[in-house]
Every structure is written in C-alpha cells, then in structure tokens.
Copies of this chain bind each other. A is one copy, B any other.
Amino acid sequence: MIIIMQTQATSDQIQSVEDEIQRIGLRPFMNPGVERKVIAVLGALDAKKADLVEHFYSFPGVDRVDLISHLWKLASREYHPEDTIVDVCGVKIGGVQVVVSAGPCSVESEEQMIEIALAVKASGAHLIRGGAFKPRTSPYAFQGLGEEGLKILAKARDESGLPVVTEVMDTHDVELVAEYADVLQIGTRNMQNYSLLKRVGQTRHPVLLKRGQGCKLRDQVMSAEYIIAEGNPNVILCERGITTFEDSTRNTTDINAVPVLKQWTHLPVMVDPSHATGDWRYVSSVSKAAVAAGADGLLVEVHNDPKRALSDGPQSLRPEQFDDLMRQLRRVAEAVDRTV
C-alpha cells in the first residue's frame, strides 16, 4: 500500500500518517526523491487491506491511497514512477547514456589490470570491472587476489579515471570492499544471500545485483527490495543468463527480462552478455540485442590475453574486439535514442 499526500500537505499531517502506520504495527517508508510525499506502508497487510485504504484516505492531507499489485513495494513503478538514475562518481546509470563496464573476470596483476583499464577507456567504456574475491565452483580453483586485488583495482581507477565495479561475497568484507570499489556487485550465487543483501543495504554504495541463474525475475526484484528496504535505493539489476536445457551456450540470455524489469520497477537494468553466453563469439550479437531491447548498460569481459586468463577466458573479448563492439553499440544506441 502507498499513501500519496497532497502537494500542499503539512509536515504535521505527514507525521500523523506516519504515526498511525506505526501504531497499527506497520512501517512507513518515505520516498525521498519525488515532488509530493509518497509513503510506502511496509509489513504484512493481509486481509485488512481494503479497510486500511479507507482508513488512511480519511486522514487530512492524504490525496490518494493505492494498493500495489506486486509483492515488491519500494522497487515498484507504482510507488516510484520515474526511472531511478544511479550516480557512480558522476557516471549516471539509468539515464540516456548506455553505460558500459568492461574488464577481466579476475584481477590477475597490476600490469594486466592497468593495461586493460586504459584500453577499455580508450574505447569508450565508462566503468571498469574485475574480480578480487572470486566465487568459484571448485575450492581448488583460483579464488582471486583478495585485498591485493582491491588495491590493484583502485590503482587502475586512478590511472584510468574509470570507477570500479567489483564483487563482494561476504558480509565481513562489505566495509573493506566498499573502501576500494565504487559499485558493490552481488554475484549470481549470492542473489538470495539475505544477510549480504541487508548489509549492502546499510551502505549507500551503488549495488549491482546479478540475477541468480535459477531465480525468477520476481525473486530478483524481491532481493532488490531487501536492499532498498534497508535504506539504500542505489540498486542496479543485472541479467546474466539463466540455466535452461539449452546447452550450446553456457546460459540462456533472458532478453525478455529487460522490458519486464523496466515495466515492473524503476531501477536501471544492465546485461552481462559474457556470462549469459559464455562464448566471446556471441557477445557482440547479444550486446547489441540488449541495447536495442532497452538495457541501461552492459558488463563485458575484456582480457588482453584470453587464452591465459585465470578464469572465464573463452568468454572474454580482446581489447581490439571490444573497441569494435563499442563502435557498433554506438550505432545501435542511437537507433533507440540513446548514447553510449
């Protein structure tokens, strides 16, 4: 349920609505970004919904009371009709510009990271990505450089001027990663790690929330809701492919997700064509498709020597391929009234 106050509602009127919400055991949540005050009412409403609508409608200063049809409230377009634009050190995700984040799967060395960062910057990327903490299916596989990797990412940012996206896997590490990174990435395996979601929700850092590979879109939005409900509205949703019976590609890119998420929520939607296909030969096609479908950004793996990459080499573009991709993306973006 959301309560839309009149534009001229006084702060006393707003306060008394909030007090009443709390009195009946629910939780008021104020949408800070809009002209008129909109108060989301959080908590289990159950059967009494219709009564409550009428109840709050009678309060002075209330303009309208709406039931929200979805399970999510704060992530909902009904509650927040305008597109959310997440600002990452000046890079705006969710606006006219399609934002491209590029870099290797894992941070391997300072030299590698800086070389790639400068290369993707030259091609027009807006953010760099690279894993310092790597969630690997095998305990014996390379697990990332950890804090050393974070330091390398920070250096790459200093050299290139591009903000950094990197994954955080553990509630213990949120503070540490937030010190170095500009966007906290929640990986596919942790999409429903609610402790971690709550913890990043307590920061104000932008969060890139990747879809769990076996998770429905509605579960992804509910995970975003966990973060926003803790007070952090800076959530970017990321489609990275789902598990299906089709085995010619590593995952199946759910391109339908782009218009569905844009309709359900006000959050920016990015697509990761590298994980969603698992094959560099298909990254260009799927990247262009994502932009044409309305995605607000891309996450592309780029490696200067894919054959020797410590992880996910087969899905990485070489810098010159990435450069070519950016050239193509600019044309597609323009065709849908966006820029890259």
Contact = CB atoms under 8 A, between A and B. Distances in A.
Interface of A: 42-44, 71, 73, 135-142, 169-172, 189-196, 212-219, 222, 225-226, 229, 242-249, 252-260, 263, 276-277, 281-282, 284-286, 288-294, 328, 331-332, 334-336
A222 B137 contact: yes
Contact of A292 (B139, B171, B332): B332
Contacts of A140: 42-44, 73, 229
Give the one of A142, A282, A331 with max B CB within 10 A. Answer: A282
A214 B245 contact: yes
A286 B293 contact: yes
B252 A252 contact: yes
B194 A193 contact: no
A286 B226 contact: no
Nearest to A261: B248
Closest 7 CB pairs of A and B: A214-B214, A189-B192, A292-B292, A243-B245, A170-B195, A289-B289, A259-B285
Nearest to A250: B256
Nearest to A263: B281
Contacts of A334: 335
Nearest to A288: B292
Contacts of A285: 255, 258-259, 292-294
Contacts of A248: 216-218, 256, 260
Contact of A192 (B135, B222, B288, B331): B135
Given A194-B135, A244-B242, A213 B216 contact: no
A216 B194 contact: no
Given A138-B222, A244-B245, A292-B292, 15 more contacts: A71-B138, A138-B225, A139-B229, A171-B171, A172-B195, A189-B193, A216-B245, A216-B247, A244-B252, A244-B254, A252-B252, A256-B282, A259-B281, A289-B293, A328-B336
